[in-house]
Amino acid sequence: MKAVTGHRLFWPAAVLVVMLLANVVVTPGFFSVQVRNGHLYGSLVDILLLGSPLMLIALGMTVVIATGGIDLSVGAVVAISGALACYLISGQQDQGAVTGVLVAVALALALSAVLGFWNGLLVARVGLQPIIATLILMVAGRGVAQLITSGKNINVNSPPYKLIGGGYWLTLPFAVIVVAVVVALTGLAVRRTALGMLLEAIGGNAEASRLVGIRSRRLIVLAYTFCGLCAGIAGLMISSNISTADGNNAGLWMELDAILAVVIGGTALTGGRFTLAGTILGALVIQTLSTTIYTTGVPSQVTLVFKAVVVAIVCLIQSPAFRAKVFRRRARPEAPPPAAPAAADVEVNA
C-alpha cells in the first residue's frame, strides 16, 4: 500500500517542515538560495552540506539496525578514516596531486570497510551482542586515529581533497552530490535486489529467517562492512571540510546522532522494516535543529539538551509500554504475558 509508505515518512517530514518554517519566522531570508560565483549559497544549502556526513553515517546505521544490530563504532571510524587520508596526503610531495589524493581516499575507505567487516565478524561469527562487539572499536578506534596522526592535528593543503567536503561541483556542494549518489546507489542495491527484503527478514525474525534458509551471517557482515564504509566517507568529508584530521574530536558522538536520525526516521531499533528516506529526513531534522540553535545565538553545545528532549520524546512515542500506560487507548484486562492470544494483537502502525 502506498498509503503506508506515506505514513511512515509523514512524521519525520512534518517535523522537518515545522522546524524549517520556524526558522523562516526567526530569519525571514532563511529559504533564500542564491548563486554566487557559480556556487549555491543559502541556509538550506548549508544544512544539506553540514548534514552530509551525518546522512551517510545514518544511512549505514540504518542497514545495520535493520538486521537487529547497532554500530557504536562509527564515530571512531570517522576519525580513523580522516586521519589516514590526511596522513597519507600530508606525506606527499605534491599535496595537490589528484592521483595521490585518490590513493589516499581509496586506502582510507578500504580501511573503514575492513573495520566494519571486523565488527560484522564479531557479531555474526563470534556471536557477540552488537552493542558489545562494536563497543570494542568505539573504545580503541580513537586511539588508532591518534596513532595515525601521532596525536597532533594533521593539516593538509590539498585542493582536490578539499573538494570532497568543502568544494562545489556544478554549483552544488560536492559532498551533497556524494551523499545523493551513495543514497541512490544504496536505494537501488537495497530495493532493486533482494537485499533489503532479506535484511528486513533477518531483523524481523532471526529464527524464521534461519528456517527459511537465509544465509544471515554473510548479510550481517555485509551490513556492518557497508556501515563502516559510509562512516569512512563521512570521515573524509569532515576532515576535508576543515582540511584537518583531528583524531580526538572528529566524529565525536556521531554514533549517537546517527542512531537518533535512524530512530526519528521511523526505523525501529529492534530491527526489521527500515526506510532510507526516513533516515535522511531524520538526519536533516537533527542538522536543522543544530543550525536553528546556532542562528538563534544559543551556544551550539546546548543543542545536546534539545537532542536529549528529542530522543526522549521519540523513544517514548515508539515505546508500546509507554503508550499503553499513558494513553490507554484500549483498556486491556491485564498486562499481556509473553504468550498473548494469537489473533488479538492485530495493530496497524498508523
| 115 vs 176 by CB, closer to another protein | 115
Task: Report helix, strand or coil for 331.
Answer: coil
Find the binder of another protein among 25, 170, 321, 331 (CB under 8 A).
321
Find the binder of another protein among 85, 186, 292, 307 (CB under 8 A).
307
| 136 vs 172 by CB, closer to another protein | 136
- Alpha-helical regions (H) of the chain: 2-26, 43-66, 74-90, 98-121, 130-149, 159-166, 174-191, 195-204, 206-211, 216-242, 254-265, 276-295, 303-318, 320-326
Q: How far apart are CA 268 and CA 265, in angstroms?
A: 9
Q: Taking CB under 8 A as the rule, which mask of x and - marks residues 40-79 in contact with another protein?
A: ----------------------------------------
| By the rule CB under 8 A, 215 interacts with another protein | yes
Which positions ≥6 away from 146 have C-beta within 8 Å? 83, 247, 248
| 34 vs 193 by CB, closer to another protein | 193
Place of cell 554500530: 71
Minimal distance in Å, beta carbon 330 to another protein?
13
Neighbours of 61 (CB within 10 A): 32
| By the rule CB under 8 A, 297 interacts with another protein | no
Find the binder of another protein among 18, 35, 102, 212 (CB under 8 A).
212
Find the binder of another protein among 29, 37, 93, 211 (CB under 8 A).
211
Q: How far apart are CA 162 and CA 177, in angstroms?
A: 14
Q: Which stretch binds another protein (CB under 8 A): 7-15, 156-164, 229-237, 318-326?
A: 318-326
Minimal distance in Å, beta carbon 193 to another protein?
5
Q: How far apart are CA 142 and CA 83, in angstroms?
A: 10
Contact set for another protein, span 146-205 (CB under 8 A)? 146-147, 150-151, 192-195, 197-198, 200-201, 203-205
Evaluate whether 186 touches 196 at the Cβ level (below 8 Å). Answer: no
Q: How far apart are CA 8 and CA 20, in angstroms?
A: 20
Minimal distance in Å, beta carbon 27 to another protein?
22
Q: How far apart are CA 148 and CA 131, in angstroms?
A: 26
Q: Taking CB under 8 A as the rule, which mask of x and - marks residues 223-262 in contact with another protein?
A: ------------------------x----x---x--x---
DSSP conformation class of 124: I
CA distances from 201 to 34, 162, 273 (A): 45, 41, 8
127, burial (CB in 10 Å: exposed 0-12, middle 13-18, buried 19+): exposed
Minimal distance in Å, beta carbon 219 to another protein?
7
Q: How far apart are CA 170 and CA 57, in angstroms?
A: 24
| By the rule CB under 8 A, 97 interacts with another protein | no
DSSP conformation class of 342: G
Site for another protein (CB under 8 A): how many residues?
Answer: 78
Q: Which stretch binds another protein (CB under 8 A): 19-27, 93-101, 206-214, 236-244?
A: 206-214
Find the binder of another protein among 28, 38, 213, 297 (CB under 8 A).
213
Q: Taking CB under 8 A as the rule, which mask of x and - marks residues 108-147 in contact with another protein?
A: ------------------xxxx-xxx-xxxxxxxxxxxxx
Q: Which stretch binds another protein (CB under 8 A): 165-173, 175-183, 281-289, 304-312?
A: 304-312
| 24 vs 340 by CB, closer to another protein | 340
Q: Which stretch binds another protein (CB under 8 A): 20-28, 84-92, 99-107, 209-217?
A: 209-217
Task: Report helix, strand or coil for 171.
Answer: coil
